[in-house]
Structure 1
Amino acid sequence: MLRDVLDWRLRSDAWPRIASLIESVAAAPDDTMLAWAIADLEALGPMRATRLGSAPTLPPPADVRERVADVIRALILAEPGPGDREPEAR
């Protein structure tokens, strides 16, 4: 879902809130909080229809794109690998 942010086009005043939510995703202490932060982020995503006369939309600013890439990398690195699992009880 975070990769989708890179394709979004939003009004310029929406990007600071998106940046804040990306920080919430990055700081989520557990899977539940991560899911909530992602849901909040999705809720602010682009609408399918644009009203006539509405403000122009822009792609994410460079700082948002860079932070999204950083968070994606951090989440990938945080995933447990096959050797990180606890041994099965016998």
Structure 2
Amino acid sequence: MDRSLREDALALLHEALTWRLPAGRWPTVERQVRSMAAALAAADPDRFVDAVQDLESEGPVRAQRIEDVAPQPAPEPVRERIHQLVHTLDGPHPGEGTPANGLDDDAVAG
């Protein structure tokens, strides 16, 4: 998974923590976050991109109908799942930056 894709996903996840949605939409958000985590675990970038796009489409809309239910912040289980995925995406990634052995190439050479 390339760094740019991870950064985009992280930005979206941080944004999702601020969303206020009708309660009935949060289970769909949770499913999308689960899909992102599964795709990341499987190292499947195509599936990860699809899940990110699906999550993005679940975000709040600017115009609401009067009869819509009042939006609410994410329930705690959804927030926890988002935080878990953020932690995973923020962690070290073999092939990006620091090598998988945790050593800096310059430190080894010197």
* Aligned pairs (5 A) from 1:49-68: 49-68=63-82
% of aligned pairs identical? 34
Aligned to 1:84: 99
Q: Distance in 2 between matches of 1:41 and 1:22?
A: 7
Gaps of 5+ in 2: 1-11, 101-110
Task: Kindly report the root-mean-square deviation, in angstroms, between the aligned alpha carbons of the 2 structures.
Answer: 1.8
Give the partner amino acid of 1:43: S
Residues 32, 55 of structure 2: 8 Å contact kept: yes
Could you tell me which runs of 5 or more consecutive residues in structure 1 were left unpaired when the two chains were aligned.
86-90
Which residue identity does 1:11 align to in structure 2? Answer: P
Task: State TM-score, norm by structure 1.
Answer: 0.85
Q: For this pair of structures, how many residues does the alignment match?
A: 86
Bigger relative contact order (CA 8 A; separation at least 6) = 1
Q: How far off is 1:56 after superposition?
A: 1.0
Partner SS state of residue 21, structure 2: coil
Q: Does 1:35 align with 2:49?
A: yes
**What is the one-letter code of the residue matched to 2:93?**
E
- Which stretches of structure 1, 4 residues or longer, exceed 6 Å deviation after superposition? none
